[in-house]
Amino acid sequence: MASFLIVTVLLFGIYFLSYKTNQLLLRLFFLTTHNLPLTTAFLSLLLYPGVVIHELSHLLMAVILFVPVKSMTLVPKILEGNKLQAGSVTIEKVDPVRRTLVGIAPLFVGIAVLWLITVYMLPDIPFLCHSRESGNLYYQIDSGSLPHSAGLSGMTSNTILCNNHQLAFFRNTGYQIPYTILSLYLIFSISSTMYSSKKDLNALLITIPLLLIVITIAYILGFQFQWIVQILNQLEGLFQNITAILIIPVTIQIILFILLKTVFSILKRQSS
């Protein structure tokens, strides 16, 4: 249960930090170019890998739930008001439950992709992994509380942040620094774009009230909700691993935020 709460806090933290960081990047690009459409294009290009994952997540969930897809595009285009749309997926009108699931799909797919990058692409981080024997500086997987079909159980006695599961393509020791930079960039891009937009969450205006009504009726009828806590406790190991995965994007966002705030502080002092 504790790890679930930590994951929730980390997700809110990434959302807040990525929003602030993106705003600062927009300001920095605009100060450099003095061109709003070009500034928007630069930021969209920077985040484009995450945008692709975001839109494909909508598409994948729509296919799984048999939701008809009207159109999909991954080609950026300028909208009215010089706003740039990096991509979009348009679905037919269906029930609010399926619309909600399609809308929130990027968050879950985003976390899954972050796990793949962290485990199979990102090289060991030296200051975290220099003492593999001690086991004190990284998260150890608790495979006993994970479902065997989850794919994580095969990593018993290994780690999330310090692992030996890199794909063969990424094991070339001469390219570890470029692979690290590429991995951290992808983690930044995906974590910044895995949150749903207001349009994606429109169905929640119907789904949440319906859910609250169902919960209220169940409570009045004497239904016990202890099984929810029990399930969360059973998934404690899984949430610990997600926590380890989210530590990297949180750290990246914090570092970028501090660097950008420092840059603007210096520019402000120079202009005064």
Q: What is the predicted pLDDT for the residue at 90? A: 87
Q: Give Cα separations from 260 to 22, 34, 117, 183, 270 (angstroms).
A: 10, 18, 26, 21, 15
Q: What is the predicted pLDDT for the residue at 140? A: 43
Q: What is the predicted pLDDT for the residue at 25? A: 92
Q: What is the predicted pLDDT for the residue at 32? A: 87
Q: What is the predicted pLDDT for the residue at 122? A: 85
Q: What is the predicted pLDDT for the residue at 81? A: 60
Closest by alpha carbon to 115, among 60, 175, 183? Answer: 183
Q: What is the predicted pLDDT for the residue at 235? A: 82
Residue 13 makes CB contacts below 8 A (sequence gap 6+) with: 250, 253
User: Is this prediction's pTM over 0.85?
Assistant: no
Model confidence over 56-81: pLDDT tens digits?
999 999 999 999 998 888 877 766 66
| CB-based contacts of 45-50 (< 8 A; 24+ apart in sequence) | 45/76, 46/189, 47/22, 47/86, 47/189, 47/192, 47/193, 48/76, 48/86, 48/189, 49/185, 49/186, 49/189, 49/190, 50/110, 50/186, 50/189, 50/190, 50/191, 50/192, 50/193, 50/194
Report residues of the chain scoring pLDDT below 70: 78-84, 125-164, 172-173, 272
